[in-house]
């Protein structure tokens, strides 16, 4: 499959290339940055615990009535403020779901969540919003899709301290239950080899103290997502695949040594088959003892019409070599037990036919159960410019309506755990 994906300054656009680019990806809390195109195996990407507080008494779902209110009303069906007239005009009132379409989100069977935040039924529904300020952008997105998201995805790099006050406030916002997915590049200004040798230990210790004091909830932490295109196998580069593996392992073990036990560590790939065939590719994987989730980032170009194509079909050259799509490849070659996530994904408007994105969304309803290891889908909602296109869910009334309906499926509404 050929699948362009967005990117920030790390890529300048154009066709996929394993070579260096003029700038590193700078998603240091800047998820709004435009992204450029790549061809991928399942899609490509460069690529944002549990939080809960009492619901507002004013809307009748607060502590006084929680016992009587079903969990799905407390979590994802909490009242969402009506959009302003301008936003209604932009989104199109006609795209709202009817009461008949909006089926109950209660699962048929009891659903549990394990210690690494994997639900026993269904999958989390999340977003990386690309406008600022983030709280306003996130709430606007939730109004558009007529539900709260389960995962809020945000990016950091270098010596930033996280979760930030904003992250914590969003995770604990009254009337919502949002899990945090934080994405950190510890090697900014360093190298993978230097971090593996301890150059960021002081900051990891500071982060450890901050997390233990400020945010005991479980949350995901991805360590330098999408490392494939930055691998430099030359001796001494500091960016060999083995250096990445050593860095990831060192960071995780440092956090654990410091007593941080609420972080769910995630390894995030681009999923681009041009890298899967590299002799060093398997070396990147840090090991099952330090990886809790495996993620990949999939974006649909005009040739991608269905979810199955998006997540599990190799690009033509690799397909001819008998290489499976990234979903099957990861299950066979990395782990057949770890939960998987689409840490970023999106449909574009590049075909010129607004029906295509809506059909992509509709195909998920038909096909998602064929991919039971996928336990989280985090949408990249952005206007990415002419080189990649518009992945916003409301690029058309058709796509917005299809996305809203999808988000109300019981499958995408497992119960978010309490703090």
DSSP element (H, E) containing 243 = helix 241-257
Pairwise CA distance, residues 295 & 267, whole Å: 6
- Pair 287, 239: CB distance under 8 Å: no
Pairwise CA distance, residues 5 & 297, whole Å: 8
Question: In a 3-state reduction of DSSP, which class is residue 192?
Answer: helix
216 φ, ψ (degrees, to nearest 5)? -75, -10
- CB burial of 227-255 (b: ≥16 within 10 Å; e: otherwise) equals bbbbbbeeeeebbbbebbbbbbbbbbebb
Catalytic: 344?
yes
* DSSP structure class, residue 390: B
Of 217, 228, 230, 344, the active-site residue reads 344
Torsion, Cα 242 248 251 256, to 10 degrees, reads -120
Bridge pairing between strands 340-347 and 293-300: parallel
Of 226, 228, 230, 318, the active-site residue reads 226
86's CB contacts (< 8 A; 6+ apart) are none
- CB burial of 295-318 (b: ≥16 within 10 Å; e: otherwise) equals bbbbbbbbebebbbbbbbbbbeeb
Catalytic: 226?
yes
Cα Dmax for the chain: 64
Active-site residues, by number, are 226, 344
């Amino acid at each position: 499959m050929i699948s362009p994906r967005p990117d920030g300054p790390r890529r300048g656009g154009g066709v996929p290339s394993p070579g260096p680019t003029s700038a590193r990806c700078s998603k240091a809390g800047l998820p709004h940055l435009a992204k450029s195109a790549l061809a991928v195996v399942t899609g490509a990407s460069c690529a944002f615990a549990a939080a809960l507080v009492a619901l507002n008494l004013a809307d009748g779902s607060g502590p006084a009535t929680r016992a009587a209110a079903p969990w799905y009303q407390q979590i994802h069906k909490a009242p969402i403020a009506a959009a302003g007239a301008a936003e209604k005009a932009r989104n199109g009132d006609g795209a709202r779901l009817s009461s008949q379409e909006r089926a109950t989100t209660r699962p048929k069977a009891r659903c549990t969540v394990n210690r690494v935040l994997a639900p026993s039924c269904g999958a989390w529904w999340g977003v990386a919003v690309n406008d600022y300020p983030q709280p306003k952008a996130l709430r606007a997105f939730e109004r558009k899709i007529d539900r709260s998201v389960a995962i809020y995805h945000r990016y950091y790099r270098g010596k930033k301290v996280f979760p930030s006050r904003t992250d914590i406030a969003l995770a604990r916002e009254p009337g919502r239950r949002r899990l945090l997915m934080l994405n950190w590049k510890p090697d900014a200004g360093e190298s993978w080899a230097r971090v593996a040798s301890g150059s960021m230990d002081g900051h990891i210790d500071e982060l450890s103290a901050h997390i233990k004091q400020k945010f005991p909830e479980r949350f995901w932490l991805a360590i330098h997502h999408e490392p494939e295109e930055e691998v430099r196998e030359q001796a001494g580069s500091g960016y060999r695949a083995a250096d990445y593996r050593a860095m990831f392992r060192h960071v995780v073990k440092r956090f654990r040594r410091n007593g941080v036990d609420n972080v769910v560590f995630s390894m995030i790939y681009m999923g681009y088959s041009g890298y899967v065939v590299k002799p060093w590719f398997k070396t990147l994987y840090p090991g099952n003892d330090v990886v809790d989730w495996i993620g990949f980032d999939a974006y649909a170009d005009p040739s991608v019409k269905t979810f199955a194509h998006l997540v599990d079909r190799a690009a033509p050259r690799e397909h001819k070599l008998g290489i499976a799509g990234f979903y099957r490849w990861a299950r066979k070659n990395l782990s057949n037990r770890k939960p998987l996530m689409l840490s970023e994904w999106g449909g574009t408007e590049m075909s010129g036919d607004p029906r295509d994105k809506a059909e992509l969304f509709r195909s998920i309803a038909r096909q998602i159960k064929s991919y039971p290891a996928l336990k989280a889908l985090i949408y990249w909602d952005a206007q990415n410019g002419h080189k990649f296109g518009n992945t916003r869910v409301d690029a058309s009334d058709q796509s917005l309506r299809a996305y809203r309906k999808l988000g109300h499926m019981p499958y995408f509404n497992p119960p978010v755990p309490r703090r």
